[in-house]
Amino acid sequence: MNSANTFRASRKEFLALAAVLIAIGAVIRFIPHPSNFTPLAAIALFSGVYLPKRFSVIVPVAAMAISDIFIGFHNLILFTWGSFALVGLVGLWIRHHRSTATIFGGSLTASLLFFLITNWAVMQFSMMYPHTLGGLMSSYIAGLPFLRNMMVGDLFYTGIFFGLYEAAVYLRSRRVSVPDPTV
């Protein structure tokens, strides 16, 4: 992946892509899946890398907000939504350092950020764990299966989104004009 693999898109194309990403992020939360195996972090990374800067935060938070209207709001929204907003900012950094390694690392960073922030919030703002270092460690240990699922899901969806986009850019750049057979 190099910076030559980009193309200029119109505002309309960026808005359409953002809307599709928001829809995918929201809809997949309703389809049965293993816990935390969703495309939201991949969408946040992708938005940070390829969409206009403000979309790096807007797209993942919009997907969460739309789906949470139906799933239900909870007292840790600031931390869940905020985690995905931070992942979008990681995408902005990757935008200027784009390579397979940074995208892979960004995907793992996304999983870890979400895990660390949301499990801390569960310990801090619920009665599930004592508000001690031991309680925090218990929260992190209990969350390990969710972290595993998130890492696998983030890598899977990151591969799909980035791979499809790069393939589309490559094919668009190699567009061959086909002669009109009726002429």
Is residue 86 included in any domain, yes or no? yes
Is residue 156 included in any domain, yes or no? yes
Is residue 68 included in any domain, yes or no? yes
Please tell me whether the overall predicted TM-score, pTM, comes out greater than 0.75 for this model: yes
CB under 8 Å, gap of 24 or more: what pairs does 112-117 form? Answer: 112/147, 113/83, 113/86, 113/87, 114/36, 114/41, 114/80, 114/83, 114/84, 114/87, 114/150, 115/140, 115/143, 115/146, 115/147, 115/150, 116/140, 117/79, 117/82, 117/83, 117/86
Mean pLDDT score across all residues of the chain: 92
Is residue 88 included in any domain, yes or no? yes
Is residue 5 included in any domain, yes or no? no
State the total domains in the chain.
1
pLDDT digits (tens, 9 = 90+) for 84-107: 999 999 999 999 999 999 999 999
pLDDT digits (tens, 9 = 90+) for 117-175: 999 999 999 999 999 999 999 999 999 999 999 999 999 999 999 999 998 888 878 87
Is residue 180 included in any domain, yes or no? no
Domain region containing 56 = 11-170
Question: What's the CATH code of the domain at 115?
Answer: 1.10.1760
Is residue 117 included in any domain, yes or no? yes
Is residue 182 included in any domain, yes or no? no
